[in-house]
Chains A and B, each alone.
Chain A
Amino acid sequence: AQSVAQPEDQVNVAEGNPLTVKCTYSVSGNPYLFWYVQYPNRGLQFLLKYITGDNLVKGSYGFEAEFNKSQTSFHLKKPSALVSDSALYFCAVSTLRAAGNKLTFGGGTRVLVKP
């Protein structure tokens, strides 16, 4: 069985400071890893994914994530956070054999960026 953990329920950061949202995963086989963001009363919005290749993945809105196989982690990062980045962030994992591209989500991390 596959699983995803987001150890922090909430992350607080000052505007302009670096932002990191942590994610660890557990799968058998090679993982496909995703980050989604959700703004209030909206659906999830795809940010980026790791499939293979370069461990540093760049995505939308200046976000990037680093895949670390030895630590089974896929932390989301942004060098300089904006107030508008305040939202709920979900990490998710899939695998090669995932029927219908089925995702397993982490519990989510709420990010609050203060002016």
Chain B
Amino acid sequence: QKEVEQDPGPLSVPEGAIVSLNCTYSNSAFQYFMWYRQYSRKGPELLMYTYSSGNKEDGRFTAQVDKSSKYISLFIRDSQPSDSATYLCAMSGVGTNAGKSTFGDGTTLTVKP
């Protein structure tokens, strides 16, 4: 079983919808939880990160981490066509391997006007 499992999608929603993207993980050593956004034919870019448990909000985006359940989510409010992309969750620990992340497989989101 993979260390990080991501809801596979694809996901197609109308403009203005609330989107929920989710990942589960098995490694208790993970402390950093990231969401990357990857547009077609581009490399991934960091969208948000959270350290340990809790919520973090940035504009229309909210990242949630529940370490007790080993579950993380990214919510997108008032979704826009420009949000259409593949979203990858990623996680890493602290210490010597802190620079190395484990990625989910990605969820492809399409927001239709």
A binds B: no
Interface residues of A (CB under 8 A from B): none
Interface residues of B (CB under 8 A from A): none
